[in-house]
Structure 1
Amino acid sequence: MDLAQGGTLFLDHVGELHPAVQPKLLRMIEDKAFYRVGGLKKVKVDLRIVSTSNADLAGRVELGSFRLDLYYRLNAARIHLPPLRERSEEILPFARMFLAEFAHEKRKRFTAIRRDARDLFCRTTGPAMSDS
């Protein structure tokens, strides 16, 4: 938490958070403070929280494995990003971006993705993608 002070705390896979930890996180969010492990003094925090989950949190709330009050606190602003397999038109642009970054990092002159590799991307992800 100290490292996120004045910035952003990123919680990845928040749906996997152990039930015993959920009330502690909720308390920290509500009180804007926490106790360090073994600490006796409350530490104030000023941060924003961004959390991600590929789990259905509403479903976990219904099953009782995720706290409803924590769900509402974390669900204040929601951005739904469909899986890449559902956005197949974005695969080749991503692949080109990663190729350019890798080429720059390794000081290589990679400039294109072979047609057979592009075709493989298209076959494994759904409808054909353009080569633009």
Structure 2
Amino acid sequence: MAEFSLADALADGPVVLAFYPGVFSRTCTQELCELRDWKADLADLDAPLYGVSADTPWSLLAFMDEHDIQYPLVSGFNNSVVADFGVRRAEGIMRGIANRAVFVVDPSGTVTYTWKATEPLTFPDTDAVEAAVAEAAAGE
């Protein structure tokens, strides 16, 4: 396990951050596996994809092993990354977890694309994310 640094990740170009509520739930498993399969398309754009949740590092490692996830999953457990991007649930029984969202961050640290789920069982349009990554990379 290594500590995640957005600044370090941005040193090589734009990044994609995909926030999700939690591993091993039915919907998140579907989303993370779809992103795993989509990651091959994104590889041509040379932008790393990071999954981000409030899960513990150990549960993330177990999930990655079980579902052959080849991109990093970042733990927002006991740090502020979920809140920093404004996707931390503030109320209710599920408070503290991340809402489903995707951000493209350009090398300067500016968020150039945002998608936030407005209802359950919705996922980002990967074509729109790819276009945003290409645009962020072109602006380097």
TM-score, normalisation: structure 1: 0.32
Higher relative contact order (CA 8 A, sep 6+): 2
Bigger radius of gyration: 1
Which one has the bigger helix percentage? Answer: 1
